[in-house]
Amino acid sequence: MNRLRVHLICALLMISSITLGSCAQNKKVSDMEKENNKALVVYYSETGTTQAIAKKISQATGADIYRIEPEQPYTAADLDWQDNKSRSTKEMNDRTARPAIKNGKVDFDSIDTVYLGYPIWWDQAPRVVNTFIESNDLSDKRIITFCTSGETSIDGSVRQLKADYPILDFVKGKRLNGAPVNEIEKWVSSLKK
Ligand SMILES: Cc1cc2nc3c(=O)[nH]c(=O)nc-3n(C[C@H](O)[C@H](O)[C@H](O)COP(=O)(O)O)c2cc1C
């Protein structure tokens, strides 16, 4: 009888140590995933629409956020797409235009995922986004794109970014105008590898 009790206690101790051990292991794995998967939300926004989405992505992922700022701010006249002589029209008509940005270089050492957001200008990412990309080494990053627009999808802009920078790993994201945080959370988890 006593022997049976001792065996039972031993068996219970073994089971509980295995369970505790595997919990500790699970915790370590998820912590490691977090540490190894550092993300940064980088965005450009003139009138706040893309900025609002960038903030929600940062909220959903816990990632830091970084704003691309042109050295020379765009005036309302600069942004007039109906004027074929406006600054934005001229820049978008010139594939080599690279407007200077304020704070170009970012420390990407510990970052492996970049959420890159911009408003669509003439079916493309604005040229300051190209300036940003060319000012930084993004070669080993996963670059998940997102955009806002009047109605144009993200497709053309991502096609062009992939053509311009074939060695970079762009993931075609979404047009996210007005998306609530829960929709963004779903989108972010659908992107997990
Ligand atoms: C110069 C310029 C060109 C634009 N071109 C397009 C376009 O081709 N298609 C579209 O749907 N919206 C276009 N838009 C509208 C913007 O993409 C849209 O308002 C965007 O959400 C603005 O984002 P922001 O507030 O973050 O700057 C254009 C806006 C500007 C200023």
Q: How many domains, in total, are found in the chain? A: 2
Residue corresponding to tokens 């050492």: 109
| 81 and 124 inside one domain | yes
Asked if residue 110 and residue 159 are part of one domain, the reply reads yes
Quote the pLDDT of residue 193. 73
Which residues, in sequence order, are CB contacts of 105 under 8 Å at separation 6+?
135, 136
Task: Judge if 88 and 121 occupy the same domain.
Answer: yes
**Residue pair 42/111 in contact by the 8 Å Cβ criterion:** no
Same domain? 136 vs 176? yes
For ligand 1, atom 22, which residue shows the shortest CA distance? 119
* Higher local confidence (pLDDT), 158 or 109: 158
Average pLDDT over residues 136-148: 97
Same domain, 7 and 96: no
Q: Are residues 185 and 133 in the same domain?
A: yes
Mean pLDDT of 92-107: 93
**Residue 26 shares a structural domain with residue 42:** no
CA 71 to CA 99: how far, in whole Å?
A: 8
Give the Cα separation of 146 and 144 in Å (integer).
7
User: Quick one: 125 and 80 in the same domain?
Assistant: yes
Contact 87, 70 (CB under 8 A): no
Centre of ligand 1 to C-alpha 28, Å, is 44
Where does the pLDDT of residue 25 fall: very low under 50, low under 70, confident under 90, or very high at 90 and above?
Answer: very low
* Residue 112: partners with Cβ closer than 8 Å, 6 or more residues away: 36, 37, 38, 39, 140, 141, 142
Q: Please choose from 50, 57, 67, 121 the residue to mutate so as to test ligand 1's pocket, defined by most ligand atoms within 8 A of CB.
A: 121
Residues 122 and 47 in one domain: yes
The reported pLDDT for the residue numbered 105 is: 87
Q: Which of 87, 91, 149, 154 to mutate to test the pocket of ligand 1 (most atoms within 8 A of CB)?
A: 149
CATH code for the domain in which residue 100 is found: 3.40.50.360
DSSP 3-state of 94: coil
> Does 74 contact ligand 1 (Cβ within 6 A)?
no
* Ligand 1, pocket-test mutation among 87, 91, 120, most atoms within 8 A of CB: 120
How far is the CA of 52 from the CAs of 45, 80, 148, in angstroms?
9, 22, 10
Residues 104 and 178 grouped into a single domain: yes
pLDDT above 50 for 102: yes
Tell me, what's the pLDDT at 22? Answer: 43
Q: Tell me, what's the pLDDT at 11?
A: 53
Identify the domain containing residue 90 by its residue range. Answer: 37-190
- The helix/strand/coil state of 180 is coil
What ligand 1 atom has the least distance to the C-alpha of 48?
25
- Residue 49 and residue 6 in one domain: no
Is residue 79 in contact with ligand 1, taking CB distance under 6 Å? yes
Atom 31, ligand 1: residue with shortest CA distance: 79
pTM: 0.84
Whether 57 contacts 115, CB under 8 Å: yes
pLDDT > 50? residue 91: yes
Rounded mean pLDDT, 53-74: 96
Mean pLDDT of the chain: 87
Listing DSSP states for 8-77 in one string gives HHHHHHHHHHHHHHHHHHHHHHHHHHHHH--EEEEE--SSSHHHHHHHHHHHHH--EEEE--BSSPPPTT
Ligand 1 and 59: CB distance under 6 A: no
Residues 131 and 64 in one domain: yes
Instruction: Give alpha helix (H) positions in 124-178.
Output: 127-135, 155-164
